[in-house]
Structure 1
Amino acid sequence: MWFTLTRRSRGFLLFTVVALGLSSLPASAAWADDEAGPANGSGATSQLQLHRLYEEAARAAERHEAYRRSAQAQTTAVRLLRAELARQRSDLRELRSDVGELARIQYRGGLLPDTLAALTRSARRDALRNLSLVHSAHHGLTASLRRVQRNTVDLTEAQQKAVAGLRLLRTLQQQQAAAKRDIQAKLRRARALQEAQARRAVTPCRDGSAPVHRDLSSLLLPVRSRDQWMLPVQSYVLSAGFGAAGSHWAHRHTGQDFAVPVGTPVHAVGAGVVVEAGCDGAFGNNIVIRHDNGYYTQYAHLSVLRVSVGQSVGPGDPIALSGNTGNSSGPHLHFEVRVTQEFGSAVDPAIWMREHGVTF
């Protein structure tokens, strides 16, 4: 276990964890875009500006996730340091108590006076034996005092490491918050620029395949606690993944596609509140949920919506039926995980869901 490591090894733990976390920070990021394909802008300059803003937002989203993972690793390191610090404090208190008791026995009417008295009365052989007892007692006390000194030094070092670990954790959290602010600023500018441009036509949100309107109450999954996570659909074939390139997208794919027939029940992956529910251009009918941990998930190309803005949902609650609306080449569910509510802040949903105990 960690507590059995040498003091030198424990000293390296904090820096090893931090190095592993910081090594994941991206030097560059792959650009990801939505389902919209090339937009019809007012000019090449506007398109380049829009492209650059979304590229920068995508890089900021990767930085945000890297800082989050590093902060999680550092939180574990700080927890271990605090546990070790508490253990060392307890050991030092017990050791000081033992040394104090030994000193009281030897110097306040205990072993030492009795032994000195015996030396004056005993024969030579007994006197030598008693002298050895006195020497042993002094040696034990000296050794105990040295252990107190060593443990005091160890405790001071552990306190310094704990303080340094907390300082680094706060720095990582500040960097994560700064990355999120950067994402939001870039996306605000991108939205303003995009509103000034004409959107290219996409398939209307009304699904031409006449989706089946069905009562979803019979599709409720077993009740789950609010901190659990699950898949958005129960039976699927994975198609386009995060970061996939192709002529169907303006740059790269921003989510994970689940190929399912029209009318497949779509479930909330976790607890949260619906913040968007309606038609969203290239995404067709879509739903966005803000989860309790501050992240957002999007469910796009839906045929039927069964929730409204402001509604609370739990893990596994049925929220919609899949469809083929918007810019879609076939029936499927487009699923995204976002740092913010807006398009452009997506992170790899496979990695994010895996960290929450769910694999595709």
Structure 2
Amino acid sequence: MVRPWHSLPQAYDLNRPAAPARDTIRLMRPFRRHSLLVPALLCALAALTARPTAAIGDTDGPEGLSAEVARLVEKASAMTQRYEEGRRKAGVQRARAKRLERLLARERRNIAVLHGDLGRIARAQYRSGGGLPHTAQLLLAESPEEVMRGQRAVWQADLAVNNAVTKSRRAEARLATDEAKAAKAWQTLGRRNAKLAEMKRGIEQQLEAAQSTLQGQANASVAAGACRGAVRLDQPKTGFTAAWVAPLKTYELSAGFGSGGKHWANRHTGQDFAVGIGTPVRSVGKGRVVRVSCGGPFGVEVVVRHRGGYYTQYAHLATVAVDQGERVATGQWVGQSGMSGNSTGPHLHFEVRLTPYHGSGVDPVRWLAERGVRLN
């Protein structure tokens, strides 16, 4: 199962010559001719031919496959956002249910106190003669004032009892209502989480199959040292007002400029963005494509020249969406991310250079920040 973009492991560029590709040779044993084998072989061939198309939908040709992956990436991204939003709502709902449970416990304690009050009032009435008939109280009274005091005491006692009974009944009614609300909240929480999880799994399974096929085509291009040509994707109308943008819509930063380690021959020459295979990659600014390459340690790559003499590189792609010499606008898709070339995982390797060539890089994060683009 494909993990969300933010949980992808850190991937690295190996800026050394790529090892020769190894061709897997499947040996097939000779088989005896037999008339019954012909239908079986034809059926098997038909099944193998139809299987990739059934797995990833209507994706005839490179453009269809790339468009399918781009669509699934966007769908998975939107589903992930919905899933995270559902998790946040679930957290709010869980806190609300816990508050209801605390309220229920408090109301149960209040009912217990009310029942205790009723008992005390009843016992006080009994000790003070509250149980005597009203006629007997009048006959035994020594003065009208005593009769009135007794009457007021009886009224107050009756009022206290009635109030206590009313409060108890109201509290019990609230208790029953709140118990029903708490149960409904937990049921809604469970149904929502289960539905979101199921939808997310389904999209990720489709995306995984399409990504695998797309990356296989990219690896074949790198091994041959020749690109398949620009894949023209239906790009959304963004209408960027800023002159510069980040190379990806959503991402997580991984290896940074100048970092060292066993994964590079020297120092890391760019900024890595951890994203899934097939994620649309944008040109950070307007310019002209000066290089489209599908061989070497960077795999499938695009280099764009911008005003001021700076160049940006987009490497380890799965596909390219532009041709060499083409002018591109700010935010225009130049390809789709992948893990072609010397890469240990799906990501975009992004460089800013003083020349079109490797070895003239500057810090991409600082360079973009100077142009109003702050990476997070």
Band of TM-score, shorter chain: 0.3 to 0.5
TM-score by length of 2: 0.45
TM-score by length of 1: 0.47
Larger Rg: 2
